[in-house]
Amino acid sequence: MSWALYTLPALPLLAALLSLGDGWILGRAVTLLAGVATLAVAIAVAISVDHGRVLQAAGGWLRVDALSAVFLLATGLLYATAAVFSIGYLGVERRREGFARFAKRYYVLLNLFALSMLLVPLASDFGTLWVAVELTTIVSALLVAIDRTDAALEASWKYVLIVSSGLGIALLAVIVLYATGTHALGGAYIPRFERLIAHAHGLSGDAVRLAFVLALVGFGTKVGFVPVHTWLPDAHSEAPAPVSALLSGSLLAGALYAILRFFQVAAASGNRAFASHALIVFGVLSLVAASFFVLRQSNYKRLLAYSSVEHMGIIALGIGFGAPLAVAGALLHVITHASAKGLAFFGAGSLLRGYDTKEIDAVTDAGRKMPWTGPMLLAAALALSGLPLSGVFRSEFEIVAGGFANAQYVGVVILLVFANLAFCGIIWNTGRRVLSAGAPTLASSAAASPPRERSAWMVAAMLGCLFAVIALGVHVPGDLSALLSSAGHSLTAPPR
């Protein structure tokens, strides 16, 4: 299966190169094929490592184990569905002046963005991992600013400045970890994950704790942990809807994956309790703050952005609780959140095309005027709120059950209270858009045509995400369950 590790980055790279020829006709076709093929290969790779097997290629520079396969699945799912959605999302504006150049830029950058996010879980050492995360920043910043409006350019610059500052701190974490590793591994070595974990007991405990805190703050800036989350609402709001879905479900998760690699070293060195408590602190801060922000949003894409902060906090809590069930639930939450947030942002993009506004109060009666988008957007809101039979409910239930099993009662109560507070905000704001029949405001009245479904491609992408949301709520396939168990074991009982 080592061929698959070459195939995963090769597919979006080839699609990006071909998109340079014709951004619309050829670009949409090759991006669609690359996205679907990437998802298929990611599933094949996940099945091959679901019982603890490790795949390596390129002389050990590319590596996939159960933990990285979880994040490959989330990226593959959103890359494939974003490729489908983009055909309809961009097609609405194909008669706009300069559309051909815009489509070329969009598809080249979209594929490069997917490539950079796939490289994050494929990296085999801390140095390459940092470079891959930095690469995602560069490409995604260009996508945030692709519309070239004042708001988009401001959001992009804010994103670059804040996240680059955080990644500078993360680089210091890599340097500290590397430096302490020289005592056990010699003066010159490649900081592979498995080598540092195997020699973790020979590392300085103080240095490992310092490296983990630096990584948590540095990479946490990109995860969107409070209080270093301030770039996130603007970037998610101004980026095109397919890009927002990738930012929320894949980019944030990729940065969290980097933190988990540092967590493995900390746990193996005897500092598990310290690392777990630090994750719980950031998880609680993010969950609490995001829950209040969700209540007072007037822009529905910013609402979903704060929901992403909330769910990253939930994942951090699940890992911090430490129980095998909670950790497995947190890893499942990476996938369920990606599918639900993909559905939500695709629905938001469809509303934007239908109503020509991002303001919540300007969107009314979407359930009748957009009979596919409206109900599926409501379904996304219910899923993100943890509705039973959704995948998010299953993963959150496992986190709560695991927290109780490990006597993390205070953390569990905080999770339940503020997750329900966020539920009120999300359902209230989404329900008003989908179910209310009030008169439209000036912004929606000024749209070129009455609100309606603009493309079957957008509906198809939403249906794909909705299928994943429901399917994972009803039943977790045996291979996925084994993968989550193996990945969770690497975090709760890392190899010695």
The pTM for the full model equals 0.95
Beta bridge partners of 56: 63
Which of the four pLDDT bands, split at 50, 70 and 90, describes residue 443? very low
What's the chain's Rg over C-alpha atoms? 21
Q: What is the pLDDT of residue 446?
A: 45
141-150 contacts, C-beta under 8 A, 24 or more apart: 142/109, 143/106, 143/109, 143/110, 143/113, 143/239, 143/240, 143/243, 144/235, 144/238, 144/239, 144/243, 145/238, 146/102, 146/105, 146/106, 146/109, 146/239, 146/240, 146/243, 147/238, 147/240, 149/238
Beta bridge partners of 123: 62
Q: What is the pLDDT of residue 29?
A: 96
Asked if pLDDT for residue 434 goes beyond 60, the answer is yes
Q: Percent of the chain scored above 90 by pLDDT?
A: 84
Peptide bond into 227 cis (omega under 30): yes
pLDDT in tens, 268-280: 999 999 999 999 9
Which of the four pLDDT bands, split at 50, 70 and 90, describes residue 418? very high
3-state helix, strand, coil in the chain (%, to 5): 80, 0, 20
Beta bridge partners of 63: 56
Is residue 72 within 8 A of residue 25, CB to CB? The reply is: no
Nearest-angstrom CA–CA distance, 218 and 222 = 8
pLDDT in tens, 341-396: 999 999 999 999 988 888 877 888 888 899 999 999 999 999 999 999 999 999 99
**185 or 246, which is more confident:** 246
Lookup: tokens for 451: 């609100």
DSSP 146: T
DSSP 267: H
pLDDT in tens, 455-473: 999 999 999 999 999 999 9
**Measuring CA to CA, which residue among 434, 329, 328, 440 is closest to residue 381?**
434
pLDDT in tens, 105-144: 999 999 999 999 999 999 999 999 999 999 999 999 999 9
Q: What is the pLDDT of residue 440?
A: 54
Nearest-angstrom CA–CA distance, 73 and 396 = 19
3 state DSSP class of 299: strand
Q: What is the pLDDT of residue 438?
A: 60
Q: What is the pLDDT of residue 444?
A: 46
Is residue 249 within 8 A of residue 342, CB to CB? The reply is: yes
Nearest-angstrom CA–CA distance, 78 and 142 = 19
Asked if pLDDT for residue 334 goes beyond 60, the answer is yes
Asked if pLDDT for residue 10 goes beyond 90, the answer is yes
Which of the four pLDDT bands, split at 50, 70 and 90, describes residue 448? low
Q: What integer best gives the mean pLDDT of the chain?
A: 93
